[in-house]
Amino acid sequence: MLNRRWILSARPRGRPTTEHLHLVEDRLRPLTNDELLLKNLYISLDPATRKRMDEADGYLPAIPLGGTPTTTVLAEVIESRHPDFRAGEIVTSFGGWAEYSIVSPDVMTARITATPDIPLTYHLSMLGITGLTAYFGLLDCGRPRPRETVLVSAAAGAVGSLVGQIAKLHGCRTVGIAGTETKCRRLITEFGFDDAILYRELDTAGLAARIHQCCPQGVDIHFENVGGTLLDAALLTINPGARIVLCGLIAGYNTQTSPGCQNLWQVIARSASIQGFLVKDYLHRREEALASLRRWLSEGHLKVREHVETGIEIVPAAFAKLFDGSNDGKLMIKMASEPFDRLNT
């Protein structure tokens, strides 16, 4: 059985292009015990994958040269050598930028229950790793209390937009930072943020002044997806005891030397904390989060925006959109026809 997959052929210095990624086709090996063969229906494209294209290990081990970038996928089990899964089931898992993936199920692999009222793609966005990231990052690391102010960077992004909505459900004032006027409008009208800040063309001091304006009571929780100037500005606005949830640092992913965080002294000055966050540490509590997320969704409290492109060939071009902000919601690639009829009846 043939499998088309992207491989990392050279390590990018800046943004990855088709110079660094090649589409290859090879034969799938047979499964060994406990493995699953997955046919990827949708694959998620995530900023963190860029970090893994560098030589040094980061969030996750570096992708070896010649290896296939891995990501969360929504897939159909084609063949199972694992007692807990059967062919035909739909799972989310940690697969590859590929038509098919062979995986050994661990905490990243979970059977999903497709229901007619929930689009299948939601299991890769609001009800997938994206939603779990927002849920545990905000609630466990951020520990929001009513009337606190929550600041979110990349707030129109997949995780950020959910963080704002969940914070609002917990009685917080929410302020989002985004990169275009359209996104800023959307933060308020679509995702219910109390205020929005356009960061483009502002330096650290200018951005801090804008944050102060929009957060007159100071910032109690800062949910950081970006880093760089945004983090430095946010640090200038935090209250004593503030919690900074460090979820991503996309500003530094395409640069060899990042500008570096200048204002760490504010963490001392405000007795604040920075908590690094990896969603994988929380996946054993997946069901708790999903129960809440499903309830909020059914009550109409959560909105999600998805940006779906089609076909494995488009992956590098679509991936690039994450880094100029031109994607419009949770970015994913539709790899194959959904087995909609079978699932949604």
Sequence-distant (≥ 6) Cβ neighbours of residue 194 within 8 angstroms: 168, 173, 174, 175, 188
Note whether 284 binds a copy of itself by CB under 8 A. no
Q: What is the phi/psi pair of residue 6, to 5°? A: -85, 140
Amino acid identity of 186? Answer: R
Note whether 286 binds a copy of itself by CB under 8 A. no
**How far is 266 from 272, CA to CA, in rounded Å?**
8
Note whether 271 binds a copy of itself by CB under 8 A. yes
Residue 88 or 276 having the CB closest to a copy of itself: 276
Residue 97 or 253 having the CB closest to a copy of itself: 253
CB of 269 to a copy of itself, least distance (A): 5
Tokens (6 digits) for 112: 């999903």
From 158, 272, 293, 302, residue interacting with a copy of itself (rule: CB under 8 A):
272
**How far is 149 from 145, CA to CA, in rounded Å?**
9
Note whether 278 binds a copy of itself by CB under 8 A. yes
Sequence-distant (≥ 6) Cβ neighbours of residue 117 within 8 angstroms: 298
Note whether 265 binds a copy of itself by CB under 8 A. yes
Residue 75 or 226 having the CB closest to a copy of itself: 226
Site string for a copy of itself, 208-247 (x = CB under 8 A): -------------------x---x--------------xx
Note whether 273 binds a copy of itself by CB under 8 A. yes
Sequence-distant (≥ 6) Cβ neighbours of residue 39 within 8 angstroms: 75, 76, 78, 99, 100, 336
Residue 39 or 210 having the CB closest to a copy of itself: 210
Site string for a copy of itself, 35-54 (x = CB under 8 A): ----------------x---
Note whether 270 binds a copy of itself by CB under 8 A. yes
CB 50 within 8 A of CB 58: no
How big is the chain by its Cα radius of gyration, in Å?
20
Q: What is the phi/psi pair of residue 58, to 5°? A: -130, -125
Amino acid identity of 180? Answer: T
Residue 28 or 278 having the CB closest to a copy of itself: 278
Site string for a copy of itself, 51-80 (x = CB under 8 A): x-----xxxx--------------------
Note whether 283 binds a copy of itself by CB under 8 A. no
Note whether 274 binds a copy of itself by CB under 8 A. yes
**How far is 24 from 40, CA to CA, in rounded Å?**
16
Of the candidates 201, 153, 149, the residue with the CA atom closest to the CA atom of residue 177: 153
How many residues touch a copy of itself under the rule CB under 8 A: the total is 34
Q: What is the phi/psi pair of residue 43, to 5°? A: -120, 145
Tokens (6 digits) for 333: 């690639």
Note whether 258 binds a copy of itself by CB under 8 A. yes
Residue 78 or 264 having the CB closest to a copy of itself: 264
From 188, 198, 267, 308, residue interacting with a copy of itself (rule: CB under 8 A):
267
Note whether 261 binds a copy of itself by CB under 8 A. yes
Contacts 24+ apart (CB under 8 A), 207-210: 207/177, 207/233, 208/233, 208/234, 208/236, 208/237
Where does this chain bind a copy of itself (CB under 8 A)?
Answer: 51, 57-60, 227, 231, 246-249, 252, 257-262, 264-278, 281
